[in-house]
Amino acid sequence: METLLAPLLDHRAPHHFIGVGGIGMSALAGILADRGFRVSGSDTRDSPVLESLRRRGVRVFSQQDAGTIATLGQEGGSSALVVISTAVPESNPELMAARQAGLTICHRSDVLAALINAQPSIAVAGSHGKTTTSTLIATLLAATDQDPTAVIGGIVPAFQSNARSGQGRVLVAEADESDGSLVKFRSSLGLITNLELDHTDHYPDLEALIQTLQRFAAGCGSLLANADCPVLSQHFQPGAWWSNERSEGVEFAALAVEEHGEGTVADFYESGELVGRFNLPLPGRHNLSNATAALAACRLEGVPFGALATAMETLRSPGRRFDFRGGWAGRQVVDDYAHHPSEVEATLHMARLMVTSGRSPLPEVPQRLVAVFQPHRYSRTAEFLDAFAAALALADTVLLAPLYAAGEAPIPGVDSQILADCLHQLRPELPLKVSGSLDQLAEQVVRSSQPGDLVLVMGAGDVNGLWSRLEALEPLKSPDAPDAPTARVAA
């Protein structure tokens, strides 16, 4: 591995990213471009991300074919590096041409490892909360004049980007465990948010996932971990723990004083001593845990608590994490990346807190919860069928989108309908519909919701395209006033 990483930061070698528009690939391409590397990439779908890369000097090809590699060969010779992600199949024409041309091919994790290993760094791992926690750390460091570099798997509101190239000493990176590649990272500080079985297409059981994270931890200079997670408490020995349940026996703790639909007020402790109080404008116990981890990481960097507490009040979640899309016919539509049962449960608990407390960061306090969920991967759906049903049962109405395969081969009998059957057995009275397409899903949202509802769209597939379909619909009649058309509310 070490012999491969060194040339990845050689400015003489042009870097070409196949599928550069992806959230992880685009962050790396942007950082390298900012640092003066010759960077190109290909993607067949244009997007604001690609336009941003163009402005940063990245050359973007709109086709993925052998001609692109031929062009790179003519301009950069045999020194060009081709970067791929796990999502790029061996049949990709560019990848096949690059292999034929004898170009160096590396995984995106190799590039990220080269960046992480080249300077003091904080790498955030774990089953849930990685993107939010790394976003909060990077935002707090930037707000306290630490000028960090950041490589995040989501859009950071403070940066309006998933990447930031700073001049400060620290790099903050999200360390994805889905394919095991995070074992390559040698970060100064490793952070693990929590751990439970996921990515069952890669890990046969929880023990395999634990072993991978233990290898990640062993490669870190020091480790910060969540004492409230039973798996971490049992299998890891970090240099520092954080907790939201107790202040004794841990290095960092944040204990809630007040919780409501707009956020949390908490007292912050270090080694059992009260340091001060902060206001977190992100509701939900899971966000308190993410924020506590971020505070702890920044305190280990030596940032004063007073400055951090002030910066905390401006924090916002990354894109696709309870992301308000707009109002439609009296409903509020929120997009969320939740695609594991624990994430769905945490998101619905947070939304329910808004209903019950009468306080919400949304323009209006929601009155009911309409959960729109898209199962992601056959393997994950089969593994967690009962857990998904239990989590979705927290909603007032559930609408299921077609399962998103994410490249997996179908598993007979595993689809959205079997999830609906399981949910119906658990809560027979729960209003429940299954859609055959996103267009049909949009129509079901209209028929099954009413003004005052929060339409919470969850999933890691293409279900986030539901908003554009709702926008395209003509204003329809409100269910509680069939003779009066309801005007669509602009986002």
Q: Among 134, 138, 132, which Cα is nearest to 165's?
A: 138
Catalytic: 174?
yes
Selecting among 94, 133, 144, 174, the annotated active-site residue is 174
CA 64 vs. chain centroid, Å, equals 27
Selecting among 68, 130, 139, 149, the annotated active-site residue is 130
Exposure of 421 by Cβ count < 10 A (0-12 exposed, 13-18 middle, 19+ buried)? middle
Q: Among 42, 66, 64, which Cα is nearest to 53's?
A: 42
Selecting among 131, 133, 144, 292, the annotated active-site residue is 131
- Parallel, antiparallel, or unpaired: how do β-strands 59-61 and 81-84 relate? unpaired
Residue appearing with tokens 């401006």:
314
Catalytic: 94?
no
The answer to whether 317 touches 215, Cβ cutoff 8 Å, is no
Give the pair of three-digit tokens for residue 478: 């409100």
CA 76 vs. chain centroid, Å, equals 35
**Measured torsion, CA atoms of residues 243, 244, 249, 250, in degrees rounded to the nearest 10:** 30
Element (H, E) at 96: helix 93-100
Catalytic: 130?
yes
The answer to whether 416 touches 434, Cβ cutoff 8 Å, is yes
> What is d(CA 62, CA 74) in angstroms, rounded to the nearest whole number?
18
Active site positions, annotated: 130-131, 174
